[in-house]
Structure formats: C-alpha cells, structure tokens
Structure 1
C-alpha cells in the first residue's frame, strides 16, 4: 500500500511539471581531498583519473567540511541534513532515531516521493547499534556486502591482493561495483526514477588493494610529512591516540603508544602512505566502472551524480593517523555534484561549504521544492535541513555565501571540541559537555583553545590562541562560534575574514 502511495505521489509530481532525474550517490570512506583536482594542496601524489573527469562536469567544492570527523556522526549528519548536536550521534554506538528524532533521511525522502531507493556497501555506518543495520526504512532494497579478508586483514594494516586471490574472494569494493552494475541495469528497465547509493570501503583501514596499483606509487615518490609533531602550544585535549591503526598486528609489534609527539618509523610512514594512495586509486577505478555502466545505459544525462568522502584523514601529519580530531586534515573532505544542464562544463568554487548542504542541494537539483530550514528545536520535525542548497553556486561560484563552517568532535564522554573555519582562520574551543539526556555544552568551562592562521600556517603547526596580538581575532571568532550556524546561514556578512 505504501509503495502504491509513493508511485501516485511521483505521478502527481510529474503532472505538475516536476523532473524525473535519477540520483547516483557515491561515498568513499576516510578519503582526504587527495584527488588530482585538489593538487594545489600538496597532500600527496594520488592518481584519480575517473574522479578528475567527473569533477570536470560537476560543481567541485574545494573547501567542503564535514560536521564531525568520524564515520557514523558524519554520515548521520549529511544523510539527515542535520548537525551532530541535533542528531545526538557523536560515536559509533548510537542510532539517530533513538537519540535524536525520527528524521527523514535523503534516501528515505526520495523513496517517499516515488523513487526506487536502493543502497549497497557502506552508506550509513553499519551494525545494529549505529543504524539498525543500515536504516531499513530508507530503502526499497539494500545490499550488505562484505569481503572475506577480515581475519587475515588484522594481521597487517595493509597488503596487496593478487588477481588469483580476488578471483576466489573479491575485495568488498569489487562486490559493490558488481551489485551497482546489476542494480543499474534493473533500474534502467523500470518506470520509476531511482536513488542509488553506492558506498565504497576504501581507502579505510586495512589498506587492501590489487597488487598492480603499487606501480602507480614508486617509493621514491612518497614523502614523509614535514610536520610530524603536534602543533606548538596545542592543548593536549586536541590530541587523539590512533588506536585503530595500533590494533593491527604489524603496528602493534612496533610497541608504539600513539602518545602526544610520538611518531612511527620513517619506513613505516612511507609504506602506510603508499598503501593509502594505492587504495585511493583502486577506489577511483571502481567509481569509473560504475560511471561507465551509467554511460552504457544512456542514463548519464538523466542522472544527478554526487561524490563525497565521509571525512578526511591524517597520514602522519602532526604524528597523527586517522580521523577523530578537528584538524584540517580530518574535517576537510572532497565533494562534487554533477547536475545535467547546470554543471556540464565544470564549475569550481572556493566558497566554504558543509556536508549538511548536500541533502537540500540534491533535493532542489531533482526539481523538488526546497527543504524547509529546521527550527531551533526540531526533534519532532521529520523533514527539514540545517544546511543550505548549493544550487546558486552552480550558476555563480562566487555568489554571496556563508563565511564560516562548523565542525565538532567529542573527546571522552564529557568534553566537546567546537570548531569554526573562516576564510583565513580555524578557531576551536574544547568545553565541558553533558551527554544524554541533556546534551548541553557549558561554554563557560573552556579546557583548551586553538587558533590557526591558514594564510601563514595552512598546516596548523602553531596554535595562536594565547598570543597577545590575536586577542581581538579570538574574541570575534569566539563570538561567531558561540552564535552558531544560524546567523551565518541568514547573514553572510556577519564576520570578517
């Protein structure tokens, strides 16, 4: 009965002049803005020809920021269009429908509006605790795909996989591609438009990839970060022990602690970076196969394509490995959206955008009415957004826009780090935080502050928060941070640079 109602809704939408554009929504796990089109950031030698080609026909957002540098909080945020302090998801153990509200997700929205909603791979963070096994209400069909390298993988943080091994036991992203192709062929035969979500596992640990990809990254091309130390005057609360990496036997055997200002041996750093880059190129090849199938089925001109990484990743910068921080390396991630007829010749913007902007953008691009802005308290509001549609930037990448973006990360159970990024600065405050049921930050109890000048110190090596000549800047940024995202959303001229 519900499916029939959805189809009737879609027919009504077409009759009144709507569109039938499909949506292909692609996610990569733990992906830095490491692509060819981000080369001026000098983050590494990644080779990504397929994503570079897609970027050339998309709105490419070079300064896109996640709301939390951890899989489940980030994915929950951009899939609901709401920020972590609304979803109340700060870890891998809580489900937004239990702790935040019965919010409509992006795939659920399209399903409710007559689309066939199909997902595969890692979209929501998997498992009963984080998503009740991929939020079943969001999908008409969902395919849970896993590789059989789990036990073997934990012996090492990375390794290559031979063709013979893959024929017997394909890597998970190869399984995802096979299912994506199969689903595309089935969806192409149907009369409904579709929302197809394809979630790739790489380059997430362990770095498993076909052996031939190492050839793209000779050791001589791999550099060790020049800032393998914590920022000068950084508050200790900002640091994160890289326990995920240490859980692998090869790293644990080094007896590393992950403590502040400790590093891995140079050769291990090079090996890990080389394996990460190889995993990125493998993932890019998988994206290429999906896009090629879309082209083969003559669906390219009828399909909105979004590609994102769920957050960034540190590869030895500051001695850190992984996400779990508010540093630029962790919260800056790639984002591009292709809308046929709007971005055909490629549009590049350097405006500050956020991942909560993605949901309202795709809805508007598909021809539906704009999502309403969430009220101050939206627990009981099923459909709204705390982001801003990016459609205006597709026609004018320099259009007036918000001048700050917001990220956060919970440290321990009672400290929250709130971070604001402006054109020039990143300012972060670590404050006392009470969890359920109040979910309240006490901004009067500041445990640590950070200020980084991205014009003179893009790598964030010197914390300027307590420098006497930065008092007025800190005061302005502090006021903006405490005022939150709403004034920025409505008044783009509230703050300076």
Structure 2
C-alpha cells in the first residue's frame, strides 16, 4: 500500500513537472529591453509597401522587419502634413506641444538620446540643402545630427514633370519655396552615398557602435520619398514609367466631394493633369526613392543585428502621413482621405511574437506604448493610449475610432471599424463605407439610406472632439 502511494506521488510530481515545463515553453521569452530604435520615413503612404500589399515597389528590408514585428493595418496619423504630425506623435497630443516630448522624457530618465536627420519638422528641401535644424527641439537630445544633400540641384537628369521639363542643366531648377518643386525628380549616376538618407543611415550605424553598451533612444528621420525624388539611376530602372498603372479614376468622382475636401493640387487645376505619361513618371520616381530609403533601413537593421542588439532593442518604424499620387486626381497631402491619413506602423519587440492587427491605432499611441514597455512613468499630458496589449492579443480593441486633423481646425475625420466620417469647418461632410468602398469613391453623407449611420457618427464625432479638447484653443508648452 505504501509503495503504491509513493508511486502515485512520484507520478503526480512527474506530471506536474512536465506541465510546468510545457507552460514555460509556451510563454513568449521576455527579453531585457533597454533600447529604442525609432525610424521615421517622410511622406510614405502605407499602400506602397510590400507588407501592405503593393506588388511593384521593392521594399525587402521593411517587409522583413514587418515579418518580425506587430504590423498595424489600420494606423492613422493625427496631422496630415509634416509639422503637425511630427509635433503630435512626439508629444502624444492632438494639437500643440504641451508637456515633455517623447525623446526628452527618455533623456530625463537617463537614456542617451540622439536625433539623426528629420524627426521634428524640417523644410524639405531648404533645411536639407543647408544642413539646418528646422523646427527641432534641442532639449530632446543628448546629441543631434543633420544630413545634408543637394536635392534638386544634384547633377543628373532633372525633370519637372508638371511643366514637362527635362534637362541635365543645373540652372533654373525648381527648389525651395518654388511652386512646382513637388513634381521634381533627379536620376543620376552614383552609388547614393551623397544622399541625405545614406548619410543618416551611416551616422546611425556609427552611433549604434558608439553607444551599444548603455541604454539609448536613437531616432533616425529619413527624408525620402518626400520630394524632390532624387536617387541614382539604378533605383529608377526597376520601374519603367511605360509599365506603370495609374490609380483608377471614378467617373464624376469629385462631384460629391465638398470644396473643402478637395486637394490643393489636383489634375483639374495643375498642369500635371495634362501629362498622363508624366503622372506615370511621378510614380516611377516615388517608387525609386522608396526603394532607396528601404535600403538605408536595411543597412541600419543589419548593423543592429551584427552588434547583437536585436535582443535588447525595440524597433519602431512609421511614416508621418501618407500621400496622394493621383488618386481622385489629387496630389500630395493635407487631406483627410485614406491615402493620406493611413500610415505604415510596425513595432518589433524582442521576445514577443510577430503578427498583424486590425485594431484602430493612432500615432499618438506610440509615446505611452514605449514608456510602458521600458517601465517609465507616462506623463499626465500624454493623450495617446498604449497599444502594448495588442502584442499579446492582436484582436483586442484599443480605440473605437481613429482621429485625424486638418491644420488650423479646418476639418476632422474619424475612422471607425466600418466607416470614415469627415466634417469640415463649413459643416460640409463626407461618409464612406470602408468595407464596401475602400477607395472612397461614393460619399454617402446625402444618401437617405445612411441617415441613421450618419446621425450616430455625428454624435460619436462630437463626443470624441470634446474628449480631446479640440473645441478649445491649442495649449503650448
């Protein structure tokens, strides 16, 4: 009897040991995370990346990072131009710059912080040509470094595509403050080492080597694919303009878009509308500079790997906002439609499983997520919400809607699970069913069938603006 009891106890102990062993193996390995690598692209639309479904543009390095990260399929910027967006995600505020910014908060908590390139707003090309700081906040950084380049003045094959100008002469090129600078591309002979993004990657690599033994927050701001689209010829070659397929234009598409909802630059009001081939060349140049930017991301990530820092470094990759390249006949940004408001966002966290999430997310959520991840107190002025629960369960709901803002309070949009609702300062509206009409061709705001939906979204919209204090003047630091 005693032998049987002893055997039973032994079997129970063995079973308990096995169950505990299996449980330990099932839990994700939690690495000791002490560093943040924060990479920001400029004017990069989510839809152009392979990981977001593009079949043309070559972005192997960002796609590889995506495979190792949590990828946000529905992340939205708050500002729809560079300055407001960057101020917003660096302060986790919808408007203004109240409180301590993200980098400064890490610096105040004994992290080495460095800016390489464009993190806060810089005028491109002005600040790039001159190697100046733009609207940078010096208190954010232990050190900061600018990456200069010749931009449109780079010797090579220059094009001003909306004016149908092609030349290799350096005289009379569209550049800083000139009205057609956003349609400029330059293809030239070279290896790209003269370009600002190459220099930013090189400086980041240098800093990783220098500061690998202590906690760091290194923010690298790449300026491509922001105009002018300058890159060596070999980056243009994979994208012959003759093979480019332009975005679908819906018949009478602009008829139901309010005046305030139309882009500042459109095919109907800019010479680019006359040159279909040059619209294709715009896509070719955009693709070329995205691929070049992707290679610089790869150089940085390869060095991080070589130094053995991947198990102690969280990596965030994002863009400040998206971009129009002829969708709806629109060009550039400063618009509340999906091509501008939706942005690429991914976060790699050592020891956590990779995946994708459909959860609605805002760029203001990055700040509290990183402070929570590193165990730092989140300042009370922060308005974002931590998305860290999505790293464990990617089907969680963090927000019921994502909010985006036009400058000077000219309009706001909310993206819900099914709809996008936009209201402008003059009270004109847009409503899109994103499940049925993801390219936003049919404004349903005046469709009687959608009246109950519209009324519900109006209430949700007003409540959200009130919650975020957006019916009040912006507060400044």
Q: TM-score range by the shorter chain?
A: 0.7 to 0.9
1:350–1:320: structure 2 CA closer, same or farther, 3 Å change rule?
Answer: same
* Counterpart for residue 442 of structure 1: none
Note if 1:172 corresponds to 2:196: yes
If the length of structure 2 is used for normalisation, what is the TM-score?
0.80
* Counterpart for residue 76 of structure 2: 65
Bigger radius of gyration: 2
* Aligned with residue 269 of structure 2, among 257, 264, 267: 257
* Counterpart for residue 22 of structure 1: 35
Secondary structure in 2 matching 1:267: helix
* Counterpart for residue 226 of structure 1: 248
Distance 2:188 2:135 in 1: 28
Give 1:336 shift: 0.3
Which moved further from structure 2: 144-153 or 292-301?
Answer: 144-153
Give 1:132 shift: 6.5
Pairs within 5 Å for 1:191-340: 192-227=214-249, 230-242=253-265, 257-258=269-270, 263-340=273-350
Distance 2:57 2:373 in 1: 30
Distance 1:333 1:278 in 2: 19
* Counterpart for residue 447 of structure 1: 427
Give 1:466 shift: 1.1
Which moved further from structure 2: 269-278 or 454-463?
Answer: 454-463
2:147 touches 2:200 (CA, 8 Å); kept in 1?
yes
Distance 1:317 1:149 in 2: 26
Pairs within 5 Å for 1:119-138: 119-126=115-122, 133-138=135-140
Distance 1:44 1:312 in 2: 18
The CA deviation string for residues 381-419 of structure 1, in whole angstroms up to 9 with x for no partner, is: xxx321111110011001233221101103xx5x62111
Cα-Cα RMSD: 2.5
1:45 touches 1:221 (CA, 8 Å); kept in 2?
no
Which moved further from structure 2: 119-128 or 391-400?
Answer: 119-128
Note if 1:471 corresponds to 2:465: no
The CA deviation string for residues 410-446 of structure 1, in whole angstroms up to 9 with x for no partner, is: 3xx5x62111111111111112xxxxxxxxxxxxxx4
Structure 1, unmatched stretches of 5+, are 1-17, 88-95, 247-255, 375-383, 432-445, 489-497
Note if 1:349 corresponds to 2:357: yes
* Counterpart for residue 177 of structure 2: none
Secondary structure in 2 matching 1:336: strand
Secondary structure in 1 matching 2:248: coil
* Counterpart for residue 182 of structure 1: 206
Distance 1:430 1:354 in 2: 20
Note if 1:482 corresponds to 2:457: no
Secondary structure in 1 matching 2:302: helix
2:39 touches 2:318 (CA, 8 Å); kept in 1?
yes
Give 1:242 shift: 2.4
Note if 1:461 corresponds to 2:441: yes
Distance 2:392 2:135 in 1: 39
Which moved further from structure 2: 199-208 or 125-134?
Answer: 125-134
Structure 2, unmatched stretches of 5+, are 1-30, 159-172, 175-182, 469-477
The CA deviation string for residues 241-289 of structure 1, in whole angstroms up to 9 with x for no partner, is: 229xx9xxxxxxxxx8339xx8342101110001101111111000000
Give 1:183 shift: 1.1
* Counterpart for residue 384 of structure 2: 387
1:108–1:351: structure 2 CA closer, same or farther, 3 Å change rule?
Answer: same
Pairs within 5 Å for 1:139-158: 139-151=141-153, 154-155=173-174, 157-158=184-185
Pairs within 5 Å for 1:75-114: 75-84=86-95, 87=96, 96=97, 101=98, 103-114=99-110
Secondary structure in 1 matching 2:427: strand
Note if 1:425 corresponds to 2:448: no
